[in-house]
């Protein structure tokens, strides 16, 4: 349901260890990957794209971001895409792009939030990253034969849990086996896949602090 006292959008999107700066850098990196065709028309997470984005994050912030952290942030981005897309598809909703504000009647907004509590994140403002999220998760822009086919990393899940948090999808089994071995330190980026060359560091799963991941 609609929150009677909606929090700021930052409370929904960011944490103390994943700030707007981290998020903007991550989105831009994924956007660049999408434009190169790395993440388009895929029905599972693309390891190479996440590793490439992680390399950008490390170069920008001077520390490693573990794959499971990047995947969790990726799922949050897809939740934002899915939710805002549903909002825009709802009759009676107008998005004032210039002011980045939604114009909607109270009863319509209540119905939207009843279906998807995460929509409360857009009470004060719209989705500033929408154009990039559309490229990352939406229609393949360089293929005239795409016919509206979407190319997201993971399935278009129902994220409308009671607390507004994202529900995980069923990932590709091969990917999960790869990720588990990676996090266990059994393989490293240099040997896991020739396409992941560029770093030979083993992912460290010993720390539970997202900020050091």
First to last CA, the chain: 34
Please state the φ and ψ torsions of residue 25, each to the nearest 5 degrees. Answer: -65, -40
Other Cβ atoms within 10 Å of 202 Cβ, number:
17
Domain locations in the chain as residue ranges: 10-170
The reported pLDDT for the residue numbered 47 is 77
Signed CA dihedral, 109, 113, 119, 123: sign only = positive
Closest-CA residue to 71 (of 210, 212, 186): 210
The reported pLDDT for the residue numbered 144 is 39
How far is 178 from 189, CA to CA, in rounded Å?
11
The reported pLDDT for the residue numbered 23 is 98
- Residues in the chain where the model's pLDDT stays below 50: 43-45, 140-176, 179, 182-183, 187-213
Full-prediction pTM beyond 0.85? no
Interaxial angle between packed helices 20-35 and 47-61, expressed in degrees from 0 to 180 and rounded to the nearest 10:
140
How far is 18 from 69, CA to CA, in rounded Å?
10
> Which residues, in sequence order, are CB contacts of 167 under 8 Å at separation 6+?
157, 158, 159, 161
The reported pLDDT for the residue numbered 122 is 98
**Cβ atoms 179, 68 nearer than 8 A:** yes
**Helix, strand, or coil (residue 150):** strand
**Cβ atoms 51, 69 nearer than 8 A:** no
Question: Helix/strand/coil (H, E, C) string of 71-105?
Answer: HHHHHHHHHHHHHHHHHHCCCCCEEECCCCEEECC
Show the CA angle centred on residue 182, arms to residues 180 and 183, nearest 5°: 65
């Amino acid at each position: 349901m609609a929150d009677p006292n909606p929090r700021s959008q930052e409370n929904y999107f960011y944490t103390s260890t994943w700030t707007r700066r981290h998020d903007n850098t991550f989105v831009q990196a994924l956007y660049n990957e999408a434009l190169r065709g790395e993440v388009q028309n895929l029905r599972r997470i693309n390891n190479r794209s996440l590793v490439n984005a992680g390399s950008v994050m490390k170069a920008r912030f001077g520390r490693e971001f573990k794959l499971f952290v990047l995947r969790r942030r990726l799922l949050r981005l897809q939740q934002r895409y899915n939710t805002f897309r549903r909002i825009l598809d709802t009759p009676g909703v107008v998005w004032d792009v210039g002011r980045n504000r939604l114009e909607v009647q109270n009863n319509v907004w209540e119905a939207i939030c009843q279906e998807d509590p995460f929509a409360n994140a857009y009470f004060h403002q719209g989705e500033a990253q929408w154009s990039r999220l559309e490229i990352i998760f939406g229609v393949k822009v360089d293929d005239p034969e795409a016919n509206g086919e979407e190319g997201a990393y993971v399935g278009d899940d129902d994220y409308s849990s009671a607390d507004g948090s994202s529900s995980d999808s069923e990932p590709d089994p091969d990917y999960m086996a790869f990720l588990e071995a990676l996090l266990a330190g059994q393989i490293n980026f240099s040997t896991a896949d020739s396409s992941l060359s560029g770093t030979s560091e083993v992912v460290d799963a010993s720390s539970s602090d997202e900020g050091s991941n």
